[in-house]
Amino acid sequence: MSTNRDFFNRKLHSLLGVIPIGAFLIVHFMINYTAVQGEETYNQATQFMESLPFLLFLEFALIYIPILFHGIYGLYIAFQAKHNTSTYSYFRNWMFRLQRITGVILIIFIAWHVWDTRIQKAFGAEVNYDMMANIVDNPIALILYIIGIVSATFHFANGLWSFVVSWGIAVSPRSQQIFTYITVAIFIVLTYIGIRAILAFV
Does 1 have pLDDT greater than 70?
no
Does 64 have pLDDT greater than 70?
yes
Q: Supply the DSSP symbol for 84.
A: -
Confidence of residue 122 (pLDDT cuts 50, 70, 90): very high
Q: Supply the DSSP symbol for 62.
A: I
Instruction: Please report the pLDDT score of residue 61 as a whole number.
Output: 95
Instruction: Please report the pLDDT score of residue 78 as a whole number.
Output: 82
Does 20 have pLDDT greater than 90?
yes
How far is 115 from 118, CA to CA, in rounded Å?
A: 6
Q: Supply the DSSP symbol for 8.
A: H
- Chain mean pLDDT for the chain: 93
Average pLDDT over residues 63-90: 81
Does 45 have pLDDT greater than 80?
yes
- The pTM of the full predicted model, rounded to 2 decimals, is 0.93
Q: What angle do CA 102, 115, 30 make, to 5 degrees?
A: 65
Instruction: Please report the pLDDT score of residue 116 as a whole number.
Output: 95
Instruction: Please report the pLDDT score of residue 189 as a whole number.
Output: 98
Does 77 have pLDDT greater than 90?
no
Strand segments (E) across 27-164: none
Instruction: Please report the pLDDT score of residue 79 as a whole number.
Output: 82
Instruction: Please report the pLDDT score of residue 93 as a whole number.
Output: 86
Does 84 have pLDDT greater than 70?
no
* Between residues 30 and 81, the one the model is more confident about: 30
**What's the topology of domain 2-199?**
3 helical TM bundles of succinate and fumarate reductases (1.20.1300)
Using CA atoms, how far residue 200 sits from 123, 166, 178, in Å, is 26, 37, 33
